[in-house]
């Protein structure tokens, strides 16, 4: 436990997993956890801020918004911990918005929960499917009943997505090296054992985990099929990445391709 209010941020490229953590932490007494406050969608920003916070408006200074509205609001002065989700691709469209990153990096007392994912191919498939059905529709964490026809992805877009993900994770570790940082992995920590992970996260932000209930469902993939079953050019991609650092992403499905 801490004797002062803790501020934290969940950095992630995985909205459903990050929101699952947010909702879990929000069950604990004294925790105010907001969603993606800087999402590009105005509707998502309203959803993220909830009833007690004025949503961010495009054109505002990002640092001022965090300092005055999120962490400095009189309405949350009695909270033990206050935090929000920040997608690693958000808050970068203009100079007034990007100050939010300057603020977070400069305040080394802010605790950082960094949600990563090792299986970048599964992430690519999940993202592609969500794009095809109109975005992130399922906020419950439950398996979605998406019926999507098999599709192809270019090796170029695949490479770009992998590189963006890896460099983003490396950048977070470097930019927030001076901060208290808890790194969580999507499959092992969120899908594998979310309740233990939430307990660890509560300890990290210095709050009592006794408020955690059984209402947080296990997170599952957007679709319940393997990449080789939905990617029409899976074998082509496997050959393309054969001698790269991403080769192991395809090995798990190799038997399925050959059979």
Q: Is the pLDDT of residue 135 over 60?
A: no
Per-residue burial over 51-80, b if 16 or more Cβ lie within 10 Å, else e, is eebebbeeebbbbebbeebbbeeeebeebb
User: Which pTM value belongs to this model?
Assistant: 0.89
Q: What is the mean pLDDT of residues 60-71?
A: 95
Number of domains making up the chain: 1
Task: Answer whether residue 102 is part of any domain.
Answer: yes
Structural domain for 219, as ranges: 6-258
How confident is residue 134, by pLDDT bands cut at 50, 70 and 90? low
Task: Answer whether residue 1 is part of any domain.
Answer: no
For 140-175, how does the pLDDT look when each residue is reduced to its tens digit (9 = 90+)? 444 455 567 899 999 999 999 999 999 999 999 999
Here the CATH number for the domain that contains residue 27 is 3.40.50.300
């Amino acid at each position: 436990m801490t004797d002062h209010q803790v501020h934290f941020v969940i950095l992630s490229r995985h909205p459903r997993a990050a929101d699952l953590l947010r909702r879990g932490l929000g069950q604990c007494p004294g925790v105010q956890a907001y969603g993606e406050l800087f999402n590009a969608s105005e509707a998502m920003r309203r959803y993220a801020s909830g009833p007690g916070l004025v949503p961010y408006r495009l054109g505002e200074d990002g640092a001022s918004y965090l300092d005055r509205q999120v962490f400095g609001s009189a309405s949350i002065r009695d909270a033990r911990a206050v935090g929000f989700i920040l997608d690693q691709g958000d808050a970068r469209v203009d100079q007034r918005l990007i100050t939010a990153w300057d603020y977070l990096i400069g305040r080394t007392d802010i605790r950082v929960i960094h949600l990563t994912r090792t299986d970048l191919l599964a992430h690519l498939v999940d993202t592609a499917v969500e794009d095809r059905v109109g975005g992130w529709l399922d906020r419950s964490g439950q398996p979605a009943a998406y019926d999507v026809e098999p599709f192809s992805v270019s090796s170029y877009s695949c490479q770009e997505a992998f590189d963006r993900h890896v460099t983003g994770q490396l950048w977070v570790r470097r930019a927030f090296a001076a901060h208290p940082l808890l790194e969580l992995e999507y499959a092992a920590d969120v899908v594998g054992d979310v309740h233990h992970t939430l307990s660890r996260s509560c300890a990290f932000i210095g709050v009592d985990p006794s408020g955690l209930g059984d209402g947080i469902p296990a997170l599952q993939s957007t679709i319940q099929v393997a990449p080789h079953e939905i990617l029409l050019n899976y074998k082509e991609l496997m050959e393309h990445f054969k001698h790269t650092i991403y080769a192991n992403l395809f090995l798990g499905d190799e038997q399925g391709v050959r059979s």
